């Protein structure tokens, strides 16, 4: 009987040991899985839902939308009041048509004309125009750089975004929780001679559009004037949801951008200045990486891609896919890379998965609440 009791005790100890080993193995497996899932990989690209918050559709051809579906992208089509390219009214028609045809893939931001700025009825007519756009699917409003850089009042003075006549419009947007996207001012390169600019793309753009090359127009408002006017409306309208396009025109300095993000909780920025971000990564990788981690709730993926009718659809699809994949590589890996925007080599940021999820999707839902975006 004594031997049998010893046998039972031995069996019990063996079972306990096996259970303990199994639990330990499970914990090690779970820990390994957690480590593996902390970062995305390049081949995760197509499986992750993404949102581009800055696109310009200048055609009603669906090729770009079909490619976006393949790449698992939704996007915001933005209408501009610009003096070149497709007129604002035509942009709006295309946007409304595509929102109706592809409601799960396309959202759109309307804008407002300023050509009748000096009319006494401009404020009310503008709000009426926006209400009509919202009834046809618009989820945000864009204000373009003509405010501050070309619009003048009846006395010939430049009209900045903090002009009192904008207050009723901004109050209306804030009250209704409708996001204002602001392309106000330009990159700091705009105030430099062509040969002193940091980015090759800026040299090309201002060569083609000298009217907006402020180095040639010292009589125009300065770069500092543009930033101060934008900061002023953020201060005056703390309930306004505001997305600064192109890193809020503070692309040249992560420190200056951080100051505004710290000062204005209603301020986020889109990332449609990718070469500048990559240049920051080249000059100070750790600082750039840490900036993204610290301000992960305030940054939205964006490209400012123009989709034009003169592009071959197959070529366009290939270019779009490859560009998106390069951006994904920059954010998710630490691969050594180069850019067409400047000379030199930089390393990808390899951001944590939770940061990437916010950049590519969750922040779009947060900062564009009128979309009612699902999937978060």
Residues whose CB falls within 8 Å of the CB of residue 55, separated by 6 or more in sequence, listed in order: 64, 75, 76, 77, 78, 303, 304, 305, 307
pLDDT on residue 361: 98
Per-residue pLDDT reduced to its tens digit, 316-367? 999 999 999 999 999 999 999 999 999 999 999 999 999 999 999 999 999 9
Please state, in angstroms and rounded to a whole number, the distance separating the CA atoms of residues 331 and 358.
12
372 against 236, higher pLDDT: 236
Segment 121-135 shows an average pLDDT of 97
3-state SS class at 236 = helix
The verdict on pTM exceeding 0.85 is yes
Tell me the domain boundaries of the chain. 52-371
Adjacency order of strands within the sheet including 106-111? 299-300, 267-270, 242-244, 179-182, 138-143, 106-111, 73-78, 50-57, 305-307
In the predicted structure, residue 20 carries a pLDDT above the cut 60: no
CATH number of 52-371, picked from 3.20.20.140, 3.30.9.10, 3.40.1190.10, 3.40.50.980:
3.20.20.140
Mean pLDDT of 43-62: 97
Tokens of 165: 């006549």
Q: Is the pLDDT of residue 47 over 80?
A: yes
Task: Compute the mean pLDDT over every residue in the chain, rounded to the nearest whole number.
Answer: 92
Per-residue model confidence (pLDDT) at position 190: 97
């Amino acid at each position: 009987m004594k031997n049998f009791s010893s046998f039972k005790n031995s069996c019990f100890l063996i079972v306990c040991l096996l259970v303990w080993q199994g639990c330990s193995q499970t914990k090690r497996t779970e820990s390994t899985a957690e480590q593996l899932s902390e970062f995305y990989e390049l081949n995760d690209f197509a499986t992750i839902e993404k949102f581009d918050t800055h696109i310009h559709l200048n055609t009603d051809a669906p090729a770009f939308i079909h490619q976006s579906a393949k790449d698992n992208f939704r996007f915001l089509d933005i209408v501009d009041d610009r003096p070149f390219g497709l007129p604002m009214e035509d942009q709006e028609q295309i946007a409304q048509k595509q929102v109706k045809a592809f409601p799960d893939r396309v959202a759109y931001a309307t804008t407002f004309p300023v050509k009748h700025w000096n009319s006494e009825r401009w404020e009310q007519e503008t709000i009426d125009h926006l209400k009509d756009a919202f009834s046809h699917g618009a989820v945000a409003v864009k204000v373009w750089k003509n405010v501050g850089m070309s619009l003048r009042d009846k006395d010939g003075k430049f009209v900045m975004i903090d002009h009192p006549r904008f207050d009723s419009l901004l109050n209306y947007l804030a009250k209704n929780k409708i996001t204002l996207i602001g392309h106000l001012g330009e990159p700091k390169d705009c105030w430099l001679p062509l040969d002193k600019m940091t980015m090759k793309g800026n040299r090309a753009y201002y060569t083609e559009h000298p009217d907006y090359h402020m180095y040639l127009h010292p009589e125009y408002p300065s770069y500092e004037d543009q930033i101060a006017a934008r900061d002023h409306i953020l201060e005056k309208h703390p309930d306004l949801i505001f997305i600064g396009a192109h890193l809020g025109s503070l692309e040249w300095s992560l420190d200056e951008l951080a100051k505004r993000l710290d000062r204005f909780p209603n301020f986020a920025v889109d990332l449609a200045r990718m070469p500048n971000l990559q240049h920051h990564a080249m000059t100070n990788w750790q600082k750039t990486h840490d900036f993204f981690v610290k301000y992960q709730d305030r940054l939205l993926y964006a490209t400012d891609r123009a989709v034009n009718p003169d592009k071959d659809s197959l070529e366009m699809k290939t270019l779009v896919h490859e560009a998106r994949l390069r951006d994904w590589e920059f954010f998710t890996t630490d691969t050594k890379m180069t850019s067409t925007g400047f000379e030199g080599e930089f390393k990808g940021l390899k951001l944590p998965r939770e940061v990437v999820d916010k950049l590519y999707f969750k922040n779009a839902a947060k900062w564009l609440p009128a979309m009612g975006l699902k999937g978060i």
